[in-house]
Every structure is written in C-alpha cells, then in structure tokens.
Structure 1
C-alpha cells in the first residue's frame, strides 16, 4: 500500500496540490496537516502516518521538505520507516527513495540542502526583523494585557490571582505588569 503524507507550514496555505499529487500517485490513504516542519514535535498526522504504515508499504511525499526540515529529523524518520520494513519515495524529486543506494545518497544530499534552506530563511527573517526594528516599523506583537488596569487594580489592594481571574489572563501576566510598574518608579 502507498501511504501519503502532506504538510504545509501555516493555516493559510492549502494542502490541495499535495493531496491531489499523492492521490494521483496511487496513495490509498493520505495524512495531511498544517504545521511547521522545523521539528517533529506536535505533528500528530506525521506520527499517525508513521504508526499506520506496515511492512511492505511505501510512505510518499511530494517533496522532501514536506517530511522534514532538518537532516537529523529526516534520518530519524527514515530509520523508523526502515525498521518497520517500509519504503520511502519522494514524488517531485525523482530518484529520492530508500529502494537503492543511489536513492539513499540523494536522500542525504537533498536533506542537507533542505536544512540549509531552512537556515538561510531563518537568517533572512532575522535580518528583515532587525531592519524593520531599526526603521521603527516592527514593534512586535500588540499587547494583550492592559497593564495600566492591572496596576490600578493592584494599587487598590487586589491580589494578583484575583486580578488574573477577573481579567481572564494568566497570573504571570499580572506579575509582569506589576513588576514593570516597579521598574518604572
């Protein structure tokens, strides 16, 4: 049986193209999710796909970076598949499979390239944020806690736990707001 796995990084992206390609390749079952590929943590559909496949099956993805962004995660996944007797195939990067020594070589090379691309993307993002901060454009996320209200309630003698409950925020947020007031004084 050919089992497919599709992944996009954000909720706003669509899985449709990958799902169609996997179905056209003969996948009897397809797992898909909208999660970052930087690590395996929190990728429930990937975990289910790895649990689902059996000896003799093939796990297919459209591109290698859909499976993993780091070489260590990639090889951990491939090792897990091989231990179960499951083959691996990448549809849009021909020759990337676990059926031949050349395929395994290509897997390693393209895995390293995917990790390199992720590092470069991260560096570009950090550079862009630094430039935006220097230009005064990027100020981070808008505050979700009204610190003035928290401080006012605290000065009235309310306990942090009561403030948190009343404002429906975490106690740590209350303590940060109170501590921020102490630093300003």
Structure 2
C-alpha cells in the first residue's frame, strides 16, 4: 500500500497543500496523512501517525524531500524507523524509491546535498546580517510588545490577568509578564 504524507509550513499555503494532495493521489496513495505545521521547532503528529500506520511492504510517499525531513539526521532517523518496519520511502519529485539499493544511495546523496545547501544559505544570511549591522542598516525585529506597553498596563490596572491581556493585545503572555514586571511602580 502507498501511504502519503503532505505538509505545508503555514495554514495559508492552500495551493501548495492541495497540489501535494493531488500528486499523492495521482501516485496511487490509498491513505494520506496531512498537516499544516512548520517542521522546525514543532512536532509533526500526522507524520508520526503515517509512520505508525505503515505496515511491512508499504511505501511512505512524499512529494518533496523538504516536506518530510528537517535535516540529514532527521531524514536518517525517519528512514531508520521505516526500514525497521520494512517500509519503503518514495520521493516523487526526485524519482527516489528506497525499496532498491540505488534508491537508498540516491536518497542519502540528495539529503546530504540538501543539508549542505541549507547550511550555505544560512551562512550567507549571517554574513548579510553582519554587513547590514556594520553599516547600521540592520535593526532586527520590531519590538511589537513594547509598542503595546501602554495598552498592556491599562488592562493590567483594570484588573485583567496576563492571559486575558495577551489575547486582547495579540502579545505573548511572557511578554505581558515582562512588561508588567519592568513597569515603574505607581
């Protein structure tokens, strides 16, 4: 059985998500698990369900490598889990199928190249930020919570709790606590 897995990083990436579903159906997937969460710093419960669902001789199918793994080590862990269950992996856009020795070799090469490419991109980004800082052009992220400090303090003085204030202002609860703690005593 072909078991599909689709993922987009954000809920508003509807077209990309629908395209993945279309491609997985076209590839013959009988069961598809999908989610719209960032792969960085978050769990992927539907990926876990897909791996748990897959049985011996099944193949987990994804449209692209970056929809499945965060890094080479993450990819290796996923593949090891699949291999332990005797489940193959198929990556559609690369025509990689790990049910053959050649497919496993290609997947390892492509995974290493993808991680190398990401590391180069991050290094360039750090260089660009350093250059912008040296030229006083880099300001960093705008401190949105600090801009709402007056509103946060008004709500706090009105007796609202941190969770209510966070919901009302769209600021994280920890930022609310920090602003309240930093406020001069009145």
TM-score by shorter chain over 0.5: yes
Do 1:163 and 1:174's aligned partners in 2 also have CA atoms closer than 8 Å?
no
Aligned residue runs from structure 1 range 9-158, under 5 A: 9-13=9-13, 14-38=16-40, 41-94=42-95, 96-126=96-126, 131=132, 134-135=136-137, 139-143=141-145, 146-148=148-150
Secondary structure in 2 matching 1:99: coil
Tell me if the contact between 1:4 and 1:22 (Cα under 8 Å) persists in the aligned partners: yes
Verify: 1:164 aligned to 2:142, yes or no: no
Residue ranges of structure 1 left out of the alignment (5+ in a row): none
Provide TM-score, normalisation by structure 1.
Answer: 0.76
Whether the 8 Å CA contact 1:87–1:99 is kept in 2: the answer is: yes
Please list every run of 5 or more consecutive structure 2 residues that lacks an aligned counterpart in the other structure: 167-171
Correspondence for 1:180 among 172, 179, 182: 182
Paired residues, what number?
175
Name the residue aligned to 2:169.
none
C-alpha distance after superposition, 1:27-69 (max 9, x if no partner)? 1111122222336x42111111111111111111112121102
RMSD, matched Cα: 3.2
